[in-house]
Structure 1
Amino acid sequence: LAAEGAEALTTTRVAAEAGVSVGALYQYLPDRDAIVDTLADRYLARLETLMASFVERAARESWPDPVAVLVDAFAGLYRSEPGLRALWFGRHLTERTREADRGHKRAMAAGLHRILVAQGLLADDAAAAIACRTAFLAADAVLQEAFRAEAGGAADLLGQLKTMLRAYLGELARTPRA
């Protein structure tokens, strides 16, 4: 997947790489879509586990720049997971995986909200939750584009992403809540 892209992901190829017969593979993964769904579930779980670890840390630690901490961490995960990039950027996602991604984005935005509440930067209310969802969706799009542009992540886009998020979240933190 990482070396040749999602186009090379076939049941025959996966079985050969795994050292099992195609029939054995079909017992667990009956077709290419099942392989894509399984891989996507694993990648989404890694991202959500990373977010959960930051939620826990944010409750115990004070970060001078939460935006840099989070953007750098998720960029690092993208760098270390070429299969994730190949799958996500190859546009070969199934409808099941796209639906899982929608749920994933809601979970990630909720994690961001919990982090920013724990850091004392945003209120624990519905408006802040929507703002975090907006920030996450924007960050996700820019992060993906940065890694489409360059395998290591386009530094200029990642830098501008941090600037954008700091400005947006900083403005929200300064806005009094009624």
Structure 2
Amino acid sequence: MLDACAELLDEGGYDALSTTRIAQRANVAIGSVYQFFPDKRAVAQALALRNLEDFGIRIGELLSGSRFERWSQLVGNVIDIFVDMHRTVPGFRVLRFGDVADLNLLDEQADNNAVVAGRLRELIVTTTGVADGPELERAFAIAVETGDALIKMAFRREVDGDDSVITEAKALIEDYLSRYLDR
């Protein structure tokens, strides 16, 4: 059902999504959808959580296979993973981590980008030993919002993402974060 949801998101966006269409695409009875999900928002939430889990797995694989001498290398690779998911994961370009459905889809207490920023900040702190704190929390919130906006722009400009915008996004985020991570 989640795969069907992802396909439908790619075809028509979130507004065109419905539980009926998900059931039809998944070739299951509508009751089967409702057995697991009360509405399309719940299906989208499950897909967004799957996307976040996939993002985390990809980052974990990156960390297990590479050593980074600088935090900026890690940040650039994380952006590459995010861009690759836009290019290869069905439904991701539309839903990402759920903001198109609900800004608080991943967590009722925090917006979706704040959840992602928190996880990325934790990753950088754990991996590099950088000191955590409120300034770093704010910096990662700004970096994630900026990166998200620029990646959206890249994919509006070109169907597979405008590489020049993606390169600028990396440079801008790395430069900004250096004020907090190169102390």
Q: Greater RCO between the two (CA within 8 Å, min separation 6)?
A: 1
Q: CA deviation at 1:101?
A: 9.5
Structure 1 residues 60-82: Cα deviation after superposition (integer angstroms, max 9, x where no partner): 72245233212112111111123
What's the TM-score once normalised by structure 1's chain length?
0.75
1:62 matched to 2:68? The reply is: yes
| CA RMSD after TM alignment | 3.2
| Residue 133 of structure 2, aligned match among 114, 125, 128 | 125
Structure 1's unaligned 5+ residue stretches are none
Instruction: Identify the residue that residue 172 of structure 1 maps to in structure 2.
Output: 180
- What amino acid maps onto 1:68 in structure 2? G
Residue identity (%): 28
Q: CA deviation at 1:17?
A: 1.3
| Residue 16 of structure 1, aligned match among 24, 31, 36 | 24
Q: Distance in 1 between matches of 2:59 and 2:98?
A: 24
Q: CA deviation at 1:4?
A: 2.9
Q: Which has the higher helix share?
A: 1
- What amino acid maps onto 2:85 in structure 1? L
CA 1:148–1:43: 2 relative to 1, 3 Å: farther
- What amino acid maps onto 2:121 in structure 1? H
What's the TM-score once normalised by structure 2's chain length?
0.73
| 8 Å CA contact 1:106, 1:133 repeated in 2 | yes
CA 1:170–1:37: 2 relative to 1, 3 Å: closer
Aligned length: 172
